[in-house]
Chains A and B, each alone.
Chain A
Amino acid sequence: MTLWLMAGLLFTPLAWAVLTLLTDFAWGRVVTWGGIVVQVLVSLGLWLAVSRDGGFYYGLGGWEAPLGIELRVDGLAVTFVLLTAVVASACGFHAGVYIDPDKPWHRYFWPLFWFLWSGLNAVWLGGDLFNLYVGLELISLSAVGLVALGGKAAALRASLRYLLAALLGSLAYLLGVALIYGQFGTLSIAGVVFWLEDHPVPAGSGLALALMVTGLALKTALFPLHRWLPPAHGIAQSPVSALLSALVVKASFYIAARLWLELGEPLGNLAAAQLVGLLGSAAVVWGSWLALRQSALKQVVAYSSVAQIGYLFLLFPLTYSVSESVSQQAQQGITLQVISHALAKAAMFLAAGNLILSTGSNRVDALTGVSRFLPFSLFSFGLAGVSLMSLPPSGGFAAKWLLLQASLGSGQWWWVLVLLTGGLLSAAYVFRIYRASFLENSETDEFYHPSRSLEVIPMVLALMAIGLGMVSEEVLSVMALPFEEEGSP
C-alpha cells in the first residue's frame, strides 16, 4: 500500500510534467485537473497512513542510503506534502480559468507547474543534503520560468533577478554541503548527528552551517536579502504569485529549519541564533512598513510575504539552548505559521488577482467602489488578512500564541514586541486596501465580473486558514508522531 502511495506521489508530477509538454493550454488544463485529483488522493492517503502507523524511511526503488535516494517520511513531511497538494491544486484550478489561453507561451504553465510540484515533494521528503539541493534547484528553475511567463520586459527583469539570487543561494548552500561532506564523510543530517555523538565538534564546522543557512536565507528572502522577492512575486500572474509565496519560499526555509534543529546545538552559537532572530524581526517590521506604502495592490501582498517570512526565522533563537518544552512550542508555532501563511497568502494573491481582473488595474486607488461589485473576492481577501493579522480564531493567531508563549517561557521577552508590532502593522496594510475599496466613486461604474469559480477558490483557502486555528491540536498531533528509525514499508 505504502509502496503505491509513494510511487504515486513521486511519479505523478513528473509524468504529468512530460504529458503536459505535449499539449496546448486547453488540453493541458484537462490533463492537469486529472493529475491534481490523483495527487490530492495520494497525498491524503499517505498522510492518513503516516498518522495511523507513524513515519518511516523509504529507499527509492529498493536502493538504500549511500547509493540510492532515501526519503524520510515523517509526520512533518507528510503534513507539508498535504499542504502542497491543497494549495497547488487550488492554484492549478484557479490558473486554468485565470490564465489567458490565447497566448501561445502560456501552454508552458502546466509543465512548469508540475515540475515545481515534484520539486516541492522532493524537498519535503528529502533525507540527504545533496538531494535537497537538487530539489531546491528544480523548484527555483521552474519558479523562475513561471515568473517569466508574464512575457513583458519587466517580468523578465524580475525573473532574471530572481534567478541570479536563487543560483547564488544554491551555490552557497552547496559549498556548505561540500564542507560537511569533506568533514564528516556523510550527506545525511542524521549521519552528521550520529558522527558528532562520539567525536568532538571539529573546529570551523560552524562555517559549513553558516554558509548553508545564509544561502537558504537568501532563497527564503530573509531581510536584508529580500530585494528580489517583491518584484518577482508582484509581477507574476496571480496563481503563480500564490504558488511562490505560499510554497516556494517555504521549501528553502524548511531545509534551513531542519538543519538548525539537528545541527544548531553542536555547530551553532548563541550570537548567530540571536542575529537570525533579529534579522527576522527587522523583516517583520520593515516588510510590513513597506507593504503599507506600496501603490500597487500585488506589491502590498508581496511585501507582506517578506514580513510574514520574518516570523519564521524566530525559530532560530527560540530553539537554541532552551528547555525541551519551549523548543517544542516554538517548533509547533512555526509549523502553524508556515501552514496558515501558505493558506492565507495563496488566498490573498488569488483574491487580488480577481480584483485586478475586475478593475483592470494593479493600483490600490483603482479599487475605489469595487466593494459593491466584487464583495465576495474582497471578503476572501479580508478573511486571509484576519489570519495574517493573527486575530483569533485563525491559524495565524494559534501560531503567534505559541510563539508568544515560547518567547516568554525562554525569557526572551523582546520577541513579544516583534509579534505585537507585526500584528498591528499587518492590520494597517489590510485595512488600507479595505478603505480604498469602500470609497465611493461615481465616475467608474463598469467592472468586469470574473467567473464564479475564480471567486470560490480563494474563499475556500481563506476559510481553511481561519479554521486552522480550531483544528491546530489535531494538525500538530500528526507531527508529534513517533518516527521508527529502522523499518521498511
Chain B
Amino acid sequence: MTAPLLYALAGAILCGIGLFGLLWLSHLLRKLVAFNIMGSGVFLVLVGLPQHQGGQDPVPQALVLTGIVVAIAATALAVVLIRRYYHLSGLTSLTGEPASREGAPE
C-alpha cells in the first residue's frame, strides 16, 4: 500500500459519501456540499491513481486545477440559483409546493 494508492482509496470513499449525500439529502445547500465532497473525491482519485501507477506526474495536477475552477463556477451558479429560489418560493428543497403556479404561460 503506497501513499498515492491511499489517496486514491480515500478519494473513492469520499465519492461514495458525496454520492449518498447528493441523492438522499433534501436540503439544497446540503446537496451542494455533497457535490463538492464528491468532486474532491474525484480529484483525489485523479491525482492518486496515476502516481501509484507511474510515479510523479504533473498532468493530473494541471487537470485538477482546471477541475477546481469548474467546480467553483458550478458551486457559485448553484448558490445564486438556490438563493433566488428561496426568495421566490420560501423553500429550501425541490420537494413541496412552490409559491407560484406551475404550468403558467411564459
Does the CB pair A174–B46 fall under 8 Å?
yes
Q: Which of B18, B53, B88 contacts A185 (CB 8 A)?
A: B53
Residue of A130, A152, A296 near B66 (CB, 8 A) is A130
14 contacts between A and B (CB under 8 A): A130-B63, A137-B70, A148-B84, A153-B100, A154-B100, A156-B85, A157-B89, A164-B31, A167-B74, A168-B35, A174-B46, A175-B15, A175-B45, A178-B46
Q: Decide: A181 and B98 in contact? CB cutoff 8 A.
A: no
Given A130-B63, A153-B89, A153-B100; A163-B74 close (CB under 8 Å): yes
Minimum CB–CB distance from A172 to chain B (whole Å) comes to: 9
A residues 353-396 touching B (CB-CB < 8 Å): 353, 356, 360-363
In the complex, chain A residues whose CB is within 8 Å of the CB of B102: 154, 235
Query: From residue A149, how far is it (CB to closest CB) to chain B in Å?
Result: 11
List of A residues within 8 angstroms of B85 by Cβ:
153, 156-157, 160
Complex Cα–Cα for A235 and B48 (A): 42
Residue picked from B19, B50, B67, most chain A C-beta under 10 Å: B67
Contact of A182 among B28, B35, B45, B101 (CB under 8 A): B45
Shortest beta-carbon distance from B104 to chain A in Å: 7
Q: A153-B99, A360-B105 are in contact. List 15 more A-B contacts (CB 8 A).
A: A130-B66, A133-B70, A137-B70, A137-B73, A153-B85, A154-B98, A154-B103, A156-B81, A156-B88, A160-B81, A160-B94, A168-B19, A171-B18, A181-B60, A362-B104
B74 touches A361 (CB 8 A): no
Is A141 part of the binding interface, using a Cβ–Cβ cutoff of 8 Å? Answer: yes
Give chain A interface residues in 412-445, CB to chain B under 8 Å: none
| Chain B residue at smallest Cβ distance from A147 | B81
A238 touching B106 in the complex, CB below 8 Å, given contacts A160-B28, A185-B53: yes
A residues at B contact (CB < 8 Å): 66, 130, 133-134, 137, 140-141, 144-145, 148, 150, 152-154, 156-157, 159-161, 163-164, 167-168, 171, 174-175, 177-179, 181-183, 185, 187, 235, 237-238, 295-296, 353, 356, 360-363
Identity of the chain A residue whose Cβ is nearest the Cβ of B77 in the assembled complex: A141
Q: A145-B77, A174-B42 are in contact. Are A356 and B105 (CB under 8 A)?
A: yes
Q: Which residue of B lies closest to A357 (CB)?
A: B106
- In the complex, the chain B residue whose C-beta lies closest to that of A165 is B22
Interface residues of B (CB under 8 A from A): 8, 15, 18-19, 22, 28, 31, 35, 38-39, 42, 45-46, 48-50, 52-54, 59-60, 63, 66-67, 70, 73-74, 77-78, 81-82, 84-85, 88-89, 91, 94, 98-106
Contact between B49 and A163 (Cβ–Cβ < 8 Å)? no
Measured CB to CB, the closest approach of chain A to B45, in angstroms, equals 5
Evaluate contact between B106 and A182: CB separation under 8 angstroms.
no
Name the residue of chain B whose CB is nearest to the CB of A296: B103
Q: In whole angstroms, how far apart are the Cα atoms of A189 and B14 in the complex?
A: 27
Q: How far is the CB of B30 from chain A (nearest CB, A)?
A: 12
CA distance A177 to B59 in the complex (A): 13
- A161 and chain B: residue at smallest CB distance: B94
Which residue on chain B has the smallest CB distance to residue A99? B106
Q: Which residues of B contact A161 (CB under 8 A)?
A: 94
Choose among B46, B81, B82 the residue that contacts A181 (Cβ–Cβ < 8 A).
B46
Highest count of chain B CB atoms <10 Å: which of A134, A150, A356: A134
Q: In whole angstroms, what is the CA distance A146 to B82 when docked?
A: 15
Once A134-B66, A153-B89 are accepted as A-B contacts, the answer to whether A182 and B105 lie under 8 Å apart by CB is no
B residues within 8 A CB of A353? 106
Top 3 nearest A-B pairs (CB, nearest first) are A182-B49, A178-B46, A153-B89
Q: In the complex, A181→B8 CA distance in Å?
A: 13
Given contacts A134-B66, A163-B81, A181-B50, contact A168 B45 (CB under 8 A): no
Q: Give CA–CA (A185, B59) in the complex, Å.
A: 10
| Complex CA–CA separation, A179 to B91 (angstroms) | 38
CA distance A150 to B63 in the complex (A): 34
A174 and B46 alpha carbons, distance in the complex (Å): 9
Q: How far is it, in angstroms, between the C-alpha of A134 and the C-alpha of B53 when the chains are bound?
A: 25
Q: If the complex has contacts A144-B81, A167-B74, are A362 and B50 also in contact, measured as CB distance less than 8 A?
A: no
What residue of chain B has the Cβ atom nearest to residue A173's Cβ?
B42
Closest to A238 in B: B106
Cβ of B78 to closest chain A Cβ, rounded Å:
6
Residues of B within 8 A of A144 (CB): 77, 81
Known: A144-B81, A362-B106. A164 touches B53 (CB 8 A): no
Contacts of B74 in A (CB 8 A): 137, 140-141, 163, 167
